[in-house]
Chain A
Amino acid sequence: EADIYQTPRYLVIGTGKKITLECSQTMGHDKMYWYQQDPGMELHLIHYSYGVNSTEKGDLSSESTVSRIRTEHFPLTLESARPSHTSQYLCASSEARGGYTGELFFGEGSRLTVL
């Protein structure tokens, strides 16, 4: 069982609300990621971090923002949620291993519904 946790698991909110999806890992991994996945569709990388105070955007443009103030914590924030943000958000972490990215450990996901 991977030691990476996401909260909330499920969230239903109204348009315009600010939300933060939490992600924490206890494995001491430097690398953390956020992926977005719609039902039956592929995962898209939206943000990643290679360490404290380091964040980058992924291959899918997202209106969300992230921060990495502590190694174990990588929260994702939407300042003003819209129905188009309805999706599943998956957090992952990995070790830094020489010349390649090690296996990804995923959390259980946060399923967001914006009404």
Chain B
Amino acid sequence: SQKIEQNSEALNIQEGKTATLTCNYTNYSPAYLQWYRQDPGRGPVFLLLIRENEKEKRKERLKVTFDTTLKQSLFHITASQPADSATYLCVSPWRDSGNTPLVFGKGTRLSVIA
């Protein structure tokens, strides 16, 4: 069955460093991926969307890549700050067709240490 995996449950990094989070998918080919941030007790907030024909997308200190050969997306936060501490979620369409509901990975809990 198709699956989306974020292989790190938690990641601790020093303030100012670049955080890199990984999302892998198996048994299907999503037309796009989205990344969200979730703070404790709150709903997720959208950050970036990247389509399968886009190699890279940027927004301020955020960068996401999409490698359809490796079946992987990487999410980078440069010059990380303690305020970036949160859970980051990789999200994909439920099925190969783009116009389907979105399903979430388990997320990676990022802690940025001052």
A100 touches B106 (CB 8 A): no
The interface size of chain B toward A, counting residues with CB under 8 Å, comes to 27
A-B pairs under 8 A by CB, number: 61
Name which residue of chain B comes closest to A107, CB basis.
B43
Q: Chain A residues with Cβ under 8 A from B34's Cβ?
A: 103-104
A101 to B31: give the CA distance in the assembly, Å: 10
A101 to B97: give the CA distance in the assembly, Å: 10
B101 touches A58 (CB 8 A): yes
Q: Chain A residues with Cβ under 8 A from B49's Cβ?
A: 103
Name which residue of chain A comes closest to B36, CB basis.
A104
Query: Interface residues of A: mostly helix, strand, loop or mixed?
Result: strand
The interface size of chain A toward B, counting residues with CB under 8 Å, comes to 25
B100 touches A101 (CB 8 A): yes
Q: Chain B residues with Cβ under 8 A from A45's Cβ?
A: 94, 101-103
A99 touches B31 (CB 8 A): yes
Q: Chain A residues with Cβ under 8 A from B104's Cβ?
A: 35, 42-44
Residues of chain A at the chain B interface (Cβ within 8 Å): 31, 33, 35, 41-45, 48, 58-59, 90, 92, 96, 98-101, 103-109
